[in-house]
Amino acid sequence: MKQAWFAALLALLAVDASAQADQLFDQVEQKVIAWRRDIHANPELGNREFRTAKLVADHLRSLGLEVKTGVAHTGVVGLLKGSRPGPVVALRADMDALPVTEQTGLPFASRVKAVWAGQETGVMHACGHDAHVAILMGVAEVLSKAKDLPGTVKFIFQPAEEGAPPGEEGGARLMVKQGVLENPVPEAIFGLHVSSPLPSGRIGYRAGPLMASSDQFRIVVKGKQTHGARPWGGVDPIVVASQIVLGLQTIASRQIDVTLEPSIVTVGMIRGGNRSNIIPDEVEMVGTIRAFNEDMRRDIHRRIRHTAEAIAQSAGATAVVAVTDGYDVTTNNEKLAERAVATLRRVAGPTNVFLNPKVTGSEDFSAYQKVIPGFFFFLGVKPADLPPEKTGSNHSPLFVVDEAQLKTGVRALTALTLDYLRGK
């Protein structure tokens, strides 16, 4: 009976989306919604996803998958082996929540609190990772029913996509470091991200660079303390820092070829001094760098150092510059994207799949793409029936999800997996 069910599923997935195909996913839809609500009401911060990991591991074991836990702290990896030889495909969902106090007023809204960066804060799935986990749990249930599945599917439930706690490693890089893409080695990896700005049911894709790299810089400008009434008696690091802020903006606007790729250099924090009439010894500046090309990314790092040091030197100050690598550019493999888009158009309808603009946000899915071909896409979940003031973008305390699109996510990842395994 299960074989016949799966044969029907394969046949239906090979044609345009239909009401019949929807019926085959209806049996998991309510489970997916229930999982999502449970995870949403019980969010956990990066590297602390103990409850979520147990929920996932228990479910995968109940489906008969080989399960490994404790990967990169709390990560879970499930292996579904088909009965016939074939490729290995990996699917990834991130599990962590954010230090955000929820304001949605939902019946299953989070009331969880935790300590982050030394301060008590609310905890919320304000980026939709609860939806990602629930969707992938649903995909695992659907695919586990296949008795003639060609190849192998590796389900990766990853902690700490939003970043590990200070002083800890975590996220996709640690998963890769601990061998998640080995034994067996996947030929390709797929992932999705729910997006509140996108209208419900729309799917955004892009071949090549999709999301930016994200690096942090810290500049300490060292001058010489003096009275605010006698600035000539010292070297004013506040004025020098101000000149550096302006100088940094010329990197993206005047020094980098803007016709190749966009880039961003933002100073997000500047701190120095404690009185109106005292010029301090030093000023600290912290900012972010975004780029869509790895060579350009490194060139920007070099130019930040040169600009800050040269401006400081011209004023008799010094600038100590440190650049910390964050996430790499999320780059979709061109050939894999071409295959995937055909599948997504069949699942969601041609008019609902569109070429997504480049996104200056970042994603650590990029760590997997550095090792194997990967394809990452966006699924619109903005509820059509809510006014703008009742909804927020990803990372907002008002972030909400149109739960009707959870089934779309299950269908999309299931179809991408089956099409790849069948060589489509």
Nearest alpha-carbon partner for 135 in 418, 415, 414, 406: 406
Q: Which of 29, 187, 309, 403 is catalytic?
A: 403
Residue 267 backbone phi and psi in degrees, to 5 = -90, 110
- Rounded Cα–Cα distance for residues 424 and 418 (Å): 8
Report the SS3 class of residue 386.
coil
- Rounded Cα–Cα distance for residues 52 and 109 (Å): 16
- Rounded Cα–Cα distance for residues 240 and 249 (Å): 15
Helix 19-41, helix 50-62: angle, nearest 10: 140
Residue 316 DSSP code: T
* 352 within 8 A of 202, measured Cβ to Cβ: yes
Torsion 51-383-343-371 (CA) sign: negative
- Rounded Cα–Cα distance for residues 45 and 327 (Å): 19
Residue 252 DSSP code: I
Nearest alpha-carbon partner for 412 in 349, 368, 362, 360: 349
Based on the residue annotation, tell me whether 162 is a catalytic residue of this protein: no
Identity of residue 32: V
Token representation of residue 421: 């395994």
Based on the residue annotation, tell me whether 403 is a catalytic residue of this protein: yes
Report the SS3 class of residue 379.
strand
* 394 within 8 A of 195, measured Cβ to Cβ: yes
Q: Which of 205, 327, 368, 420 is catalytic?
A: 327
Catalytic residues: 327, 403
